[in-house]
Copies of this chain bind each other. A is one copy, B any other.
Amino acid sequence: MSKVLPAEGGLRRVIGDGHELPDGEVDLTPEQHLDLYRDLVLLRTYDERSVVYHRQGRIGTYAIFWNHEAMQAGSAFALEERDWIFPSYRESAIGLLRGLPASTVLSWWRGHPAGWWNPEKWGVASICVPIATHVPHAVGFAWGSRLKGDDRVAIAYFGDGATSEGAFHEGATFAGVFNAPAILFCNNNQWAISTPVSAQTAAATLADKAIGYGMPGVRVDGGDVLAVYEATREAVARARGGDGPTFIEAVTYRAAPHATADDPSIYIDEERVEEERENECVGRYERYLKRFDLLTDAQVEEIRAEGLELMRAGIAEAEAEPPADPGLVFEHAFADPPASFRDDLAELRRILGG
């Protein structure tokens, strides 16, 4: 049986601190715990390596998700394979949890066509770069699946800033009205680039926004992978059971730059960042698992090594991609391209060749 605890600020929590804060429990087998841990480490490794690859000039601008891994892995762990994930740039690598190759995601950040995957194959929609515009996609997908008699669920990830966008509002409104089996998962890392959540909304909490859409709003400690898992599991059950959408606000604090191009020192509270880094989500889960004797140091080593190996292979594979053919410019826009594309391509080839 699960035991979820209320925490500071009404956040749901499972993982304690090993001292005063007691641990809760969730309904996972030891193997599942290890799988979840593996997911967390995989994302962490992906993220840390990506920052290095960026510095080495091997990938372009990159949106760091350091310490967001618990939100991503915990929620995704509550899904079935047939459920769909609608990521923002912040969840660029979430497909890894479903076996999407690291080289694919790395290629995306390398601006190489090999980075654009088939959403149907992985149940992971394309990375959404504009803020919040994928919320209606997820809702439309969930609604459409229900109309088809499927029991698939869709989850959309977005940030605290995203909740100010009209697209979020319209998507959430549709979700409520059509009772869509959708989960609106808000990563509240308390910053939209340099804008703190206090300047983003006057709402007391982001979860409060759910009331306006007639759906439950749940607040959870975003650094607690098990609390995130539990909250999402409940939301998935609700959705699949025909009880409609849920808004989940997972609260954390952005402890890294917004992206590789960003310099947060201008605006962020460095002390708060330090605190957060010390209490980062992978270590928290690691210590929890060790308290329950579910994880050994040897396993930690092995899992980390696995992750590193996957990344080494991934970047090698991405870098081994043949240069993209300029002719791709004219592909994939239409099933049946207009004649003008053929002419334009011929001209381009003539000029490039000449």
Residues of B within 8 A of A209 (CB): 211-212
Asked whether A203 is an interface residue with its Cβ less than 8 Å from the other chain, the reply is: yes
CB–CB A166/B177 < 8 A: no
Residues of B within 8 A of A329 (CB): none
Q: Which one of B199, B204, B211 lies within 8 Å of A214 (CB-CB)?
A: B204
How far apart are the CA atoms of A230 and B120 in the complex, in Å? Answer: 56
Interface stretch of the complex, out of A31-39, A69-77, A87-95, A168-176: A168-176
Q: Which one of B170, B201, B208, B211 lies within 8 Å of A173 (CB-CB)?
A: B201
Tell me what chain A mostly uses at the interface: helix, strand, loop, or mixed.
helix
**Interface residues contributed by chain A, number (CB under 8 Å):** 25
Asked whether A200 is an interface residue with its Cβ less than 8 Å from the other chain, the reply is: yes
Task: Give the Cβ gap from A58 to chain B, nearest Cβ, in Å.
Answer: 39
| Nearest B-chain residue to A203, judged by Cβ | B214
Residues of B within 8 A of A213 (CB): 201-203
Residues of B within 8 A of A211 (CB): 203-204, 208-209, 211-212
How far apart are the CA atoms of A177 and B163 in the complex, in Å? Answer: 13
Residues of B within 8 A of A177 (CB): 199-202
Within A209-246, the residues touching B (CB, 8 Å) are 209, 211-215, 244
Write out, one digit per residue, whether chain A residues 184-208 have a CB within 8 A of any chain B CB (1) or not (0): 0000000000000001111110001
Residues of B within 8 A of A131 (CB): none
Asked whether A164 is an interface residue with its Cβ less than 8 Å from the other chain, the reply is: yes
Asked whether A48 is an interface residue with its Cβ less than 8 Å from the other chain, the reply is: no
Asked whether A179 is an interface residue with its Cβ less than 8 Å from the other chain, the reply is: yes
Asked whether A303 is an interface residue with its Cβ less than 8 Å from the other chain, the reply is: no
Asked whether A167 is an interface residue with its Cβ less than 8 Å from the other chain, the reply is: yes
How far apart are the CA atoms of A219 and B203 in the complex, in Å? Answer: 19
Asked whether A347 is an interface residue with its Cβ less than 8 Å from the other chain, the reply is: no
How far apart are the CA atoms of A244 and B201 in the complex, in Å? Answer: 13
Asked whether A321 is an interface residue with its Cβ less than 8 Å from the other chain, the reply is: no
Residues of B within 8 A of A168 (CB): 169
Asked whether A165 is an interface residue with its Cβ less than 8 Å from the other chain, the reply is: yes
Write out, one digit per residue, whether chain A residues 143-175 have a CB within 8 A of any chain B CB (1) or not (0): 000000000000000000000111111100100
Give 7 A-B pairs besides A203-B213, A203-B214, A208-B212 with Cβ atoms closer than 8 angstroms: A164-B169, A165-B166, A165-B170, A166-B169, A173-B201, A177-B199, A212-B212
* Sample (21) of A-B pairs whose CB atoms are under 8 Å apart: A164-B170, A165-B170, A166-B169, A168-B169, A169-B169, A173-B202, A176-B201, A176-B203, A177-B199, A177-B202, A179-B202, A202-B213, A202-B214, A202-B215, A202-B244, A203-B211, A203-B213, A208-B211, A208-B212, A211-B211, A211-B212
